[in-house]
């Protein structure tokens, strides 16, 4: 028996997901027009935090803060790690939780979305061989081919 959960990008608002995809496509098109900046953009992608990393880090900070406050101020602060644990469980089971929606609205992307841009940029850079019948004689056409290659 196979169990499939929704991807985080599919479990967030359509508006946020569409905006994130449009911004990615715009960056790829800009990179096609400025190929000398491709390597810089790929290095930026290496440093970009994905949604899951930001969510896990934020959860750890709030949980540890709640434990510290509970030990020094008031036991009721133990509710913080409890709520955060519930959010993480919800995210694990459903691919979504309220903090992930906030992070998506702030522009955080899933690792798959970051990899999609990386693949498009590598196609622009020439890491992948173009089909012999592909017409890519302008930056705009190269960008469209790269986006198609990356599954956009």
| Domain limits, the chain | 9-48+111-152, 49-108
Nearest C-alpha neighbor of 131 from the set 140, 141, 121: 141
The answer, yes or no, to whether residue 13 has pLDDT greater than 90, is: no
State pTM to two decimals: 0.79
How confident is the model over 107-133, as pLDDT tens digits?
999 999 999 999 999 988 988 765 555
> 92 exposed, middle or buried (CB, 10 Å; 0-12, 13-18, 19+)?
exposed
What angle, 0 to 180 degrees and rounded to 10, lies between the N-to-C axes of helices 111-125 and 139-149?
140
pLDDT for the residue numbered 8: 56
């Amino acid at each position: 028996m196979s169990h499939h959960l929704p991807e985080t990008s599919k479990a967030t608002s359509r508006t946020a997901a569409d905006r994130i995809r449009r911004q990615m496509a715009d960056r790829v098109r800009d990179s096609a027009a400025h190929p000398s900046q491709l390597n810089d953009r790929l290095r930026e992608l290496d440093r970009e935090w994905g949604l899951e990393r930001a969510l896990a880090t934020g959860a750890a900070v709030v949980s540890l803060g709640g434990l510290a406050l509970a030990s020094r101020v008031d036991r009721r602060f133990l509710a913080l790690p409890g709520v955060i644990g519930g959010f993480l469980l919800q995210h694990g089971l459903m691919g979504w939780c309220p903090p992930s929606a906030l992070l998506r609205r702030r522009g955080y992307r899933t690792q798959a979305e970051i990899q999609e841009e990386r693949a498009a940029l590598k196609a622009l850079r020439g890491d992948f061989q173009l089909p012999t019948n592909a017409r890519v004689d302008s930056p705009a056409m190269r960008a469209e081919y790269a986006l198609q290659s990356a599954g956009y």
